Amino acid sequence: MYVRVVTWWTILRIGLEERLVYRADFALGTLMRFLPIITQIFLWAAVFETVGGGSVAGYSYENMVAYYLLTMMSRAFSSMPGLASGVATQIRNGEIKKFLIQPVDLIGFMLLNRIAHKLTYYMVATLPFAGVFYLCRGFFVGGWPPAETLLIYSMTLLLGFLLGFFLEMCIGLISFWFLEVTSLLFVYMLLNFFLSGHMFPLDMLPDWAATIVDLFPLKYLAYFPAAVFLGQLEHAEIIRGLWLEIGWLLTFMVLSRLMYWYGVKQYSAYGG
Partner 1 sequence: MAIIEIEGLAKSYRVYQKKEGLAASLKGLFRRRYREVQAVRGIDLQVEPGEFVAFLGPNGAGKTTTLKLLSGVINPTSGKATVMGHVPWKRENSYRRRFALVMGQKNQLWWDLPAQESFRLHQQIYQIPPAEFKQNFDELADLLEIRDLVQQPVRELSLGERMKMELIAALLHSPEVLFLDEPTIGLDVIAQHNIQQFLKYYQEQRGITILLTSHYMKDIAALCRRVVIIAQGELKYDGSLTGIIDRFSEHKLVTLQFADEQPVTGLSRFGEVVNDEYPKVQLRIPRSQVAETLSAMLDVGVIDDIAVEDPPLEELIADFFSQVSNQSKATGQDADDSDRMS
Q: Which spans of this chain sit near partner 1 (rule: CB under 8 A)? A: 3, 6-7, 10-11, 14, 17-18, 21-22, 94-95, 97-98, 100-104, 265, 267-272
Answer yes or no: are the C-beta atoms of 171 and 185 closer than 8 Å. Answer: yes
Distance between CA atoms of residues 152 and 48, nearest Å: 31
C-alpha gyration radius of the chain: 20
Hey, is 199 helix, strand or coil?
coil
Min CB(22)–partner 1 separation in Å: 8
Terminal CA-to-CA distance of the chain, rounded, Å?
33
Q: Is the Cβ of residue 231 or residue 271 nearer to partner 1 in the bound state?
A: 271
Give the shortest CB-268-to-partner 1 separation in angstroms: 4
CA distance linking residue 242 with residue 207, whole number of Å: 21
CB of 19 to partner 1, least distance (A): 9
Task: Tell me whether residue 23 or residue 235 sits nearer to partner 1 (CB atom).
Answer: 23
Question: Which CB atom, from 117 or from 198, has the smaller least distance to partner 1?
Answer: 117
Q: Tell me how far apart the alpha carbons of residues 260 and 106 are, in angstroms, rounded to a whole number.
A: 9
DSSP, collapsed to helix, strand or coil, labels residue 232 as coil
Burial of 130 (0-12, 13-18, 19+ CB in 10 A): exposed
CB of 94 to partner 1, least distance (A): 6
How far is it, in rounded angstroms, from Cα 136 to Cα 211? Answer: 32
In the complex with partner 1, which residue's Cβ is closer, 36 or 94? 94
Q: Which is nearer to partner 1, 36 or 271 (CB)?
A: 271
| Closest CB 109 distance from partner 1, rounded Å | 9
Instruction: Please report how close the Cβ of residue 53 comes to partner 1 at its closest, in angstroms.
Output: 52
Nearer to partner 1, 194 or 267 (CB): 267
Backbone angles phi, psi at 168, to 5 degrees: -70, -30
Q: Tell me the CA distances in angstroms from 251 to 78, 137, 170, 234, 247, one per residue in order.
A: 17, 38, 11, 25, 6
